[in-house]
Structure 1
Amino acid sequence: MTDRTDLALRDIPSYALYGEAAEDPAADWIHCETIQSRSRLHNYRILPHRHEKLFQILHLARGTADMALDGQSTKVTGPAIVTLPPMTVHGYRFSPDVQGTVLTLFDSRLAHILADMDGVRETFRSVQLIGLQDHADATHGLADDIRSLTAEFAGRASGRSEAIQARLLLVLITLHRIRGSGQKSGAHIPGRRALQHALRFRELVDQDFRKHHPIEAYARRLGLTPPHLNRICREHLGDTALGVVHQRIILEAKRYLTFTGLSAKEIALALAFDDPAYFARFFKQKTGLPPLAFRAVQQSTLA
């Protein structure tokens, strides 16, 4: 990639979760709120939904939650922790006396934080339902760490993002240790293994989409056959494996076209297309517009 494309990438703005303006762009990768703040607006009921690229930690400090997780129902009594990887369909009915915190972050950031901790990362690829009643010391420590994390999130002190990440890592390691003590989780919900493969595939695509690997190469890394990978992608990601790769390439192209002044040829090179004309045809096929026409529409929309 050229120096010009590197510079252009730095100009792409970063937006906070939920459309909120981030006063500190360095810390907009995470959002913290109390369970009460959102659930009471909906009569303590959150209808089943899912997040495509977000990872959530729900700390139920007090009260109960009737939960629907991927079509299965369970009741959780605080103190407890629930972790939800992307694409998990989840809904809640909380008791009115509920207390606790919801931490929401980009799954890509979680992968970055745990890049050198494969065991911990593997724990959070699946739903975890962790009761804390029998872990008094860990319960107090977790509550303290989460309070410190939310205080950092609400503040504007120097090193805020780093402090949030450090406290989040403590929370994740503590939960991993509790899981390692033999407590059962929701990891064996039927279909979860296929979803884990789908999420791992999307991680690999995020890392390598510029390399234009054949689907067979991704399938080998996942220990799957290409037809099996395609079935998983259709079921959990709504497209074929190749379609998921193409979506990621188009997303990056749209970012370049919207937020940089790079030419279509420069964008093609940045995305490892040897033939800029082929890139232009590919982009039009997927979006219905040539690259520069798409840019014009975006500029008029953002003006």
Structure 2
Amino acid sequence: MITLPVTLEILRAGSSRLNGHFHQEIALIEHPPKAGQMKAPVPNYELYGEKSRERPDFWLHCETIHARSSLYRWEIGLHRHERFFQILYIAGGSGDALFEKTVEQISSPAVITVPPGIGHGFRFSPDVDGFVFTVLASHLPISPGRSSRPGAWMAAPRLTPLGGSEDGRYIGETLRRLATECEAGLSHRTVLLDAYLTTALVLTGRLAEGGDDEGAESENERRMERFDALLRQHYLTHRPAAFYARALGLSPTHFSRIVRAATGRSLHEVIAGKLVEEAKRQLLFTRGSVQQIGFRLGFGDPAYFSRFFLRRTGMTPRAWRTAERERLGA
């Protein structure tokens, strides 16, 4: 039975330059519970780099599993990430993975994926080898959720053995290249990071599901995947729900039922949610004014953008930005 410390605190330990680029570091400090103390909730921490004003483009962090776990006797206590998706590539060694209250044995090679908000912890053998990637969830090429087959797979924590298959070897090589590119800082870096990340996630999902059997996908799943692609292409132009239904050859009422069954939200809510997600990303990680961000998102009237954001979040864009940057220590 795995026994892991359950209380962690994050301290920013500053940053150092590697090859002309910032390398973010965090320190995990373990605190034993005080006598008579109630069981603490699963702690939440965020991995973030320089202050948003200095590093607005931060979205991906990489480090070796050995470097982090060796500091804590090869155990990482139960914790969660509110805004970050994690990928662990286990190239060597073994251990245990704790997902909420479920324990799974780790045998290398394997990939572990953990979506935001899920409590998780690890115990590794001292010979563990591999990398951990922490990705800002809003920057993922595929959003964890039920709106597509890959998104549904990413919505729950997974431990996927890579085995000796060709895809398994390719996934391992792709993640090693992703780690190298994270530190290299060469030209067109972001393009390659996105490409490696997308490749690794899609292939790992296929491997976990026993292959990409197109015949096994339902018609509605395929429609939702096409809708995701259309939404990414057109959401800044504020197309109405009927536009997406017509593009898929469906009536608005029929397609709305499909969307609600897949996501638990109405079609209008999904479309608006995409705009809110991008608004939050730009408010937090860019220097643009609220008016500039609203204009980039297709809102000609700044007051209308503020009302739209307020209805969806309960806060004005300016108040949300201030609160989030204060919470993140920016």
Return the TM-score normalized by structure 1. Answer: 0.57
Q: How does 1:40-51 map to 2 (within 5 A)?
A: 40-51=70-81
Larger helix proportion of the pair:
1
CA shift for structure 1 position 179: 2.1
- Distance 1:179-1:253 versus aligned 2 partners, 3 A rule: closer
- 1:35-83 per-position Cα deviation (integer Å, ceiling 9, x unaligned): 0111111111111111112111111111112121021122111111111
1:64·1:78 contact (CA, 8 Å) conserved in 2?
Answer: yes
Is 1:82 aligned to 2:112, yes or no? yes
- Distance 1:272-1:55 versus aligned 2 partners, 3 A rule: farther
Whole-angstrom distance in 2 between the partners of 1:221 and 1:132 = 33
Larger strand proportion of the pair:
2
Is 1:163 aligned to 2:184, yes or no? no
Whole-angstrom distance in 1 between the partners of 2:121 and 2:260 = 30
RMSD, aligned α-carbons:
5.2
1:27·1:160 contact (CA, 8 Å) conserved in 2?
Answer: no
Amino acid at match of 1:148: R
1:145·1:171 contact (CA, 8 Å) conserved in 2?
Answer: yes
Match of 2:64 among 21, 34, 40: 34
Q: Secondary structure at the match of 2:185?
A: coil
Whole-angstrom distance in 2 between the partners of 1:252 and 1:114 = 17
1:26·1:161 contact (CA, 8 Å) conserved in 2?
Answer: no
- Distance 1:26-1:178 versus aligned 2 partners, 3 A rule: farther
Whole-angstrom distance in 2 between the partners of 1:254 and 1:177 = 32
Q: Secondary structure at the match of 2:63?
A: strand
What is the aligned partner in structure 2 of residue 67 from structure 1? 97
Match of 1:176 among 205, 208, 218: 205
CA shift for structure 1 position 97: 1.0
Gap regions ≥5 residues in structure 1: 1-15, 184-206, 212-217, 230-240
Aligned length, in residue pairs: 236
What is the aligned partner in structure 2 of residue 139 from structure 1? 168
Whole-angstrom distance in 1 between the partners of 2:282 and 2:106 = 42
Return the TM-score normalized by structure 2. Answer: 0.53
- 1:7-50 per-position Cα deviation (integer Å, ceiling 9, x unaligned): xxxxxxxxx8833239x969632111110111111111111111
CA shift for structure 1 position 220: 8.5
- Distance 1:21-1:155 versus aligned 2 partners, 3 A rule: farther
- Distance 1:106-1:70 versus aligned 2 partners, 3 A rule: same
- 1:221-272 per-position Cα deviation (integer Å, ceiling 9, x unaligned): 43399xx98xxxxxxxxxxx9xxx9xx79x959949x955558xx99x9698
Q: Secondary structure at the match of 1:18?
A: coil
Amino acid at match of 2:197: L
Whole-angstrom distance in 2 between the partners of 1:96 and 1:253 = 38
Whole-angstrom distance in 1 between the partners of 2:156 and 2:300 = 32
Match of 2:261 among 205, 223, 233: 223
Amino acid at match of 2:140: L
Whole-angstrom distance in 2 between the partners of 1:111 and 1:80 = 21
Gap regions ≥5 residues in structure 2: 1-23, 25-45, 213-234, 240-255
